Amino acid sequence: MAKTTTRSCQPCTACCDGWVSMNINGVDVYPGKPCPHSTGKGCDDYENRPVQPCVEFQCAWVMENSPLPEWMQPSNAKVLVVLDKLQWHGASVDLAVPVGKRIPPRALNWLKQFAETHGRPLIYTEQVIENGKMSKDQNMVGYGPEAFQQEVASWVQSGKKLW
């Protein structure tokens, strides 16, 4: 969870609740397994939270001068966005992960429009469901130039991880 800027995280706790796969002080956090410090309303050890990933995590909605509209707060739009996750042929690539199984159509359409308008390739993910339950794994989908889509597809085949 980020420090409060002009936008306040609450009531969102999406990044602490496993929608971003991470390891907190040796404990794996992933969909269905929130951080042990998440109370569902915040962090019970905020002052001692790890620098990586907690302090340095860049949630696009809460950052200063966020291009994301108000309704895109992760708890509301059911998507968590990280800008500039990586570079592809000189272009900034944004990443969107669902807060749930899939990014809802309204949010995904907004992200695709944003990608087209600003010439920023987008990677979005979908939870892999196994035996009716969310697994640790996510499918990656590339949105942008054909060559970018193909490269993301090759990353999926090779098992490349983004976190």
- Contacting positions for ligand SF4 (CB under 6 A): 1-2, 9, 12-16, 24, 35, 37-38, 43, 49, 54, 59, 61-62, 73-74, 80
- Provide the minimum distance between the beta carbon of 66 and ligand SF4 in the complex, in angstroms, as a whole number: 10
Question: Toward ligand SF4, which CB reaches closer, 61 or 114?
Answer: 61
Question: Toward ligand SF4, which CB reaches closer, 11 or 119?
Answer: 11
- Provide the minimum distance between the beta carbon of 21 and ligand SF4 in the complex, in angstroms, as a whole number: 11
Question: Toward ligand SF4, which CB reaches closer, 37 or 78?
Answer: 37
- Provide the minimum distance between the beta carbon of 137 and ligand SF4 in the complex, in angstroms, as a whole number: 20
Biggest distance spanned by C-alpha atoms of the chain: 45
Query: Within a 10 A sphere around the Cβ of 157, how many other Cβ atoms?
Result: 8
Which residues 6+ apart lie within 8 Å of 62 measured at CB?
Answer: 2, 4, 5, 7, 8, 9
Question: Toward ligand SF4, which CB reaches closer, 134 or 152?
Answer: 134
- Enumerate the β-bridge partners of residue 22: 29
Torsion of CA 154, 121, 124, 10, to 10 degrees: 150
Question: Toward ligand SF4, which CB reaches closer, 24 or 152?
Answer: 24
Which residues 6+ apart lie within 8 Å of 37 measured at CB?
Answer: 16, 24, 43, 44, 45, 49
User: Which residue, chain included where needed, has tokens 């490269």?
Assistant: 151
- Provide the minimum distance between the beta carbon of 136 and ligand SF4 in the complex, in angstroms, as a whole number: 16
- Provide the minimum distance between the beta carbon of 89 and ligand SF4 in the complex, in angstroms, as a whole number: 28
Residue 26 tokens, joined: 């040796």
